Structures are given as structure tokens and as C-alpha cells.
Structure 1
Amino acid sequence: MTKSGDPGTAYQLTLFALEAVATAAPTTHDRDKVDHQLTCHKVDNSASAPGLPLAQEHFTVPEQQTGDAAVLEQDTQEALPIVEYLEKIAGVVLERDTKNAVPEHTQWVEEYRPSTRKGHLYYRYCYKQSRKIKHIHIPGGNTRSHLAQNRKSQVEIAIASGNSPGEIRKLISSWKCDRTPRSAGTH
């Protein structure tokens, strides 16, 4: 414990004996004198942290120094990015596909309900065109209809075979024209 500089305060605890290492900095920039000062004041961290190198080995003094005080610089290794570090530790090569990080679906078939009330579900063909999603109803009735289910499967086959949205739109519009007119006598 050392006494504080203020007359009205009691003793103040210090964690380190600074007098042992707080000596005047060397006036010349000679590495041997710096090493000699470090060893004279017993700056050795091997007892508290055996994995760390000694202070003399871990710090270097720059060759060209301006001013009177010598500044110690710590040698550091180049840090690896986290992915390379994990690959080094685990020995596993991680996939890094930055070109297509998230696959985008440009065409699909979905079920939809045209109103908020609980009613029938219908199929529609969806595709992206210039960052906007376009929808086209697939005719044939609701999802319980065999005709609608067959047309949905035809659209899915066309998507899987790589047809363009324009070709699939023509296919769907041809089904709209295939409607059989109701007989004139029934309403």
C-alpha cells in the first residue's frame, strides 16, 4: 500500500509496484540496453503465463526513433478470416458460393384463395419479371377439380422442362379459349 498524494485521503491500494519498472527511458536507442533494463527489473511473465514468450523476445524497439523515449512495439501475426480459421482448425472445407448465395425461383405454381372468406382454393402460375411477381390464373375450376389438377401438372412439367414464361402464358391462354359455350337453353 502506498500513501496517496492528497493530504485528506487515507492509503490507496496499488496493484503493481510501478517503481520497479518506471525508470528513465534510455537516451540511446541501443537494443542491448533495453534488454538489459528489462532483465535487471525482472520483467518475466513465464511464472504467471507460461504459454507467453518472455518480454525480451516479444517486444522490439524500432530502429529509427525520433524523440527521447523509446516506444516498444508488439509483434503481431496476421489474423486469418474466420472461415479460413475454422477450416484450419476443423480440417473441413466449407462451401463458399458467393455468386448464387440464395437460389431464386423465377417460376412456380401455387394455390390461392381469391377472397378472404373460407372458400375454394384455385391454382395460379407465378413468374418474376423485372423484380415483380406476375400471376396468371390456371383455368379449370378449384383445386378439387381433376381438370385443374391436370393443367397444374402440365404447367409444372413445362417449368421443369425449361419453358419460358411467355411459352407458359400461351399454354394457359389456349386453355382459356377451350371453354365450351353453354347451351342457349340453360342458364
Structure 2
Amino acid sequence: MRWPVTLTGPAVVLRPLRLRDRRVWDELRLRNRAWLERWEATSPTPRAPITFRQYVRDLDAQARAGSALPFVMEHEGEMVGQLTVASIYYGSLCSATIGYWISEHVAGRGITTRAVALAADHCWSGLGLHRIEINIRPENTASLRVVEKLGFREEGVRRRYLHIDGDWRDHRSFALTAEEVPGGLLARLPAAGTR
């Protein structure tokens, strides 16, 4: 797998997180702390925090090892969130899971939908993966709209799937295979600028 890679689509760019992003990333995370804490995975046992430098190095190492594609989401040149494709291996494993977060100030504009479509299309056509999965908390209506717009099929509930906000939380599971979208997901979406 070639890394680093930047993916450019209508109204969104997915690129690697860089060390020089620290100030912008820190400000974005701080501004969105309350917005994100209901949805983001936490550790059930306290762990020592890592530095931003180590975080970026860990993401880069995962990408180079072929186990993840960790991207920053940009919209109109502004960092607005992150998207990670996890469990990307070649050979026996041909599926991956997409997770993401987006800043509250741009939520609802279709940026996440386009980012997920761009990443999934890259996984199918660029990497030859077969299946993409997204897991969403049942009360996360904004993310449920993303999978609905993209036509992901619901596969069921994953009980106590991730530790979030102090407890193990259920998630609804959605998936698509390459055969279900032969033209890709971006082709299903209206022109950029429309929702």
C-alpha cells in the first residue's frame, strides 16, 4: 500500500495528519470537546496520554503497516475532522471499517458523506478491498443519515461494541460490498454544494 496518500473529491480532501497540524488540530479538538465526547471511544481503564507527536507517528506506522488509512478531512482548505479506515490487510482480509468525526460548525453540510464515499471508493477501486463497514450508536442521527444517503445496508446490532463516554455502548452495523456499488459511492451523490 502506498502511503502517504491524499484523496481529493468534490468538496472534500482526505490527507495524512502532519506534525505541523498540531496547533490547528488542538484548537479544533478543544472547540469540539463537548460535541464529540458522546460519540468517541474511551478507554475503560485509565491510560497515560500520548503526545501529539507520538499520535501522528502511531497513525503513520499503522498506515505503513497496512492496518489503517488515517486521514484528516479538509473542506475548502480548512481542517474539519478525521476519518480512519481500519483493518486494511492484503491477502486473507479484504474488508475494512470506517470511523470518523467532524467539527460541529460544518456538520450537516454533506462533508462527512462525501468523505466516506471518497474513502470507500478508494478502498474498492484503489486497494481492491471487498467490504466496507460502519458502526454507529443508535442515537447518532447525523451519522445514521450518512449511511442512509450512501445506501449502506443495515446488518444488525453489535451489543456493547465500544467503550464510549464511560460505558460499553451498542452500535448499529452497516455494510456495503464492491458488487453492490459497481460505479462507486461518489457517483451516487448529487453535485458538490447540494445536500
TM norm structure 1? 0.22
Which structure's residues are more often strand, by fraction? 2
Which structure's residues are more often helix, by fraction? 2
Instruction: Considering Cα pairs closer than 8 Å and 6+ residues apart, tell me whether 1 or 2 has the greater RCO.
Output: 2
TM norm structure 2? 0.22
